[in-house]
Structure 1
Amino acid sequence: MTKPILELNDIHTNVTTADGQSIEILKGLNLKINSGDFITVIGTNGAGKSTLFNTIAGTLKPNSGSISHLGNDITKLSEEKRSKFIARVFQDPKLGTAPRMTVVENMLLATKRGEHRFLIPRKLKQNLPYFEELAKSMNNGLENRLTTFVSNLSGGQRQALSFLMATLKRPDILLLDEHTAALDPHTSQNLLAATDERIQKDNLTALMITHHMEDALKYGNRLLVLKSGQVVADYKEEEKKKLHLEDLYNFFED
């Protein structure tokens, strides 16, 4: 039987509040993620969505439970070492890119994700056609701004660049942490379409947090509902196709 690409077993994760209190957010969470899954994740504020992503990425260590990657225990593995096979795009377009470097310089930097970096020739010219092709796939004019400093990009272009950088080395796990939430509706839908296209084309395994129920239904082959730190619903592809918005809204009622 094929091992899940990522498996979380009985995960309990606490977070420390601003006043120093320790609060349990994930409460015995179990989750198996298979290769090629594109999972949309929904839940109320405080349900544990971001804590789940932080636990997967290694930003937070679980208080108990285990995490395995392709059958290997990574529970105690550092965030830096997990970056070799886990990539993440955050909600804030300013995160994940170097503002004082150009678009192509950022993309070149992303080719070294998870590796030791040495002082070697940059090879920008050799990679330029490939980077231009990638930028065109975002359908927002990014290919015309390859030599522009990232700080001068629009929010949508900067977030598109963050997405390209996260997926350039085809990570085993891609975490999309409300990556379109800070964008206007048109730009958001454009990025979501480009996101879906790239995930399908490269057969990436991805989890995407969203507060938009329509997007949760439209994208992905699987839908998770988190509530009180646990997975309370896990809809596979055929089940998900039968869902309606009302079905999802019922989870948000007390």
Structure 2
Amino acid sequence: MTTKEELLSLKDVVVSVNNGNELRPILKKLNLTINAGDFITILGTNGAGKTTLFNTIAGNLHPTSGQVLLRGQNIAQQNEEQRASFLARVFQDPKMGTAPRMTVAENLLLATQRGQRRGLRLRKLRQNRDRFREMCAEMGNGLENHLDTPTGNLSGGQRQALSLLMATLTSPDILLLDEHTAALDPKTSEQLMQYTMERINQNHLTCLMITHHLEDALKYGNRLVVIDDGRIEADYDAKQKQTMTREKLYDFFDETIG
């Protein structure tokens, strides 16, 4: 039996926010262990704590109490910049994650230096163009024809594809996908999910993906986690996922969350 390597774990994590009058807990002694190679899909109603969980993992929020352990080391107080060396995130909004006035090639060059002390060195742009064109061609949406196009002039699908490419360029230890297909039309969304799986498999990435699509939650990944009221309510492994259906998930939401 192969022993799984524990990559990241949250232990009794409490995250509270100030609503103006008092501190309100969003995550309530949440516990979650992520093993190397996991692809975890995450479901939960609005306000359940999904985005707060991602912000805590990414370093945008610091726990009020509890630990965030990366390979056993507590990184709870590290900020977003400190975590950029091992973590990447793709947001729901295609406008986030890319610099709109920079070209596609310039954005990709910037992504090669993720987590490093860097300045944008345009003199390296020419020598990377063939590599960038080849990577963009894999997206299947014509992105390779827009290396010199400012990112702000791309379609939403192309821009989100670029965000995914940038996030996975340096093979981060942890990839967070924050409803990254939600703003796209169904066809573009499906194409991006197919490419997402290719990048995850090719680079052997550890990934967490928030989604509101039950089909995607069941189809992708080796684990399915359900969050409600700041806690993990269910954590289905690959075998359990195989027995799940949309109807069973609806029943679970009605009984546990509704």
Same fold (TM over 0.5): yes
Amino acid at match of 1:164: L
Match of 2:6 in 1: 4
The one-letter amino acid paired with 2:15 is T
Identity of aligned residues (%): 59
Contact 2:106 2:122 in 1 (8 A): no
Partners of 2:119 and 2:65 lie apart in 1 by 37
Name the residue aligned to 1:104: 105
Which amino acid in 2 is paired with 1:128? R
* TM alignment of 1:58-137, pairs within 5 A: 58-118=59-119, 120=121, 122-137=123-138
Partner letter of residue 185 of structure 1? P
Provide TM-score, normalisation by structure 2.
0.94
Mind listing any 5+ residue stretches in structure 1 that lack a counterpart?
A: none
How many Å separate the matches in 2 of 1:196 and 1:26?
29
Unaligned runs of 5+ in 2: none
Runs of 4+ residues over 2 Å off in structure 1: 19-22, 118-122
Matched AA of 1:9? K
What residue is the counterpart of 1:14 in the other structure?
16
RMSD: 1.3
1:32-71 equivalence runs, <5 A = 32-71=33-72
The number of equivalent residue pairs is 253
CA distance in 2, matches of 1:89, 1:244: 27
- What CA distance in whole angstroms lies between the structure 2 residues aligned with 1:248 and 1:52? 21
Per-residue CA deviation, residues 39-97 of structure 1 (Å, 9 max, x unaligned), is: 10001111110000000001010100001111111011111101110110011100010
Counterparts of 1:2 and 1:252, CA distance in 2: 30
CA contact (8 A) 1:3 1:71 kept: no
Kept in 1, the 8 Å contact 2:110–2:120? The answer is no
Equivalent in the alignment of 1:216: 217
| TM-score between both structures, scaled by the size of structure 1 | 0.96
What per-residue deviation string (whole Å, max 9, x for no partner) do you get for residues 76-132 of structure 1?
Answer: 111110111011001110001010010000000001111001464531121112111
Partner of residue 196, structure 2: 195
On the 8 A contact 1:6/1:33 being kept in 2, the answer is yes
Structure 1 contact 13–25 (Cα < 8 Å) conserved? yes
1:21 positional shift: 4.3
Once the two structures are superposed, residues 129-168 of structure 1 have per-residue CA deviations (whole angstroms, 9 ceiling, x without a partner) of 2111211121111111111110110000000001111110
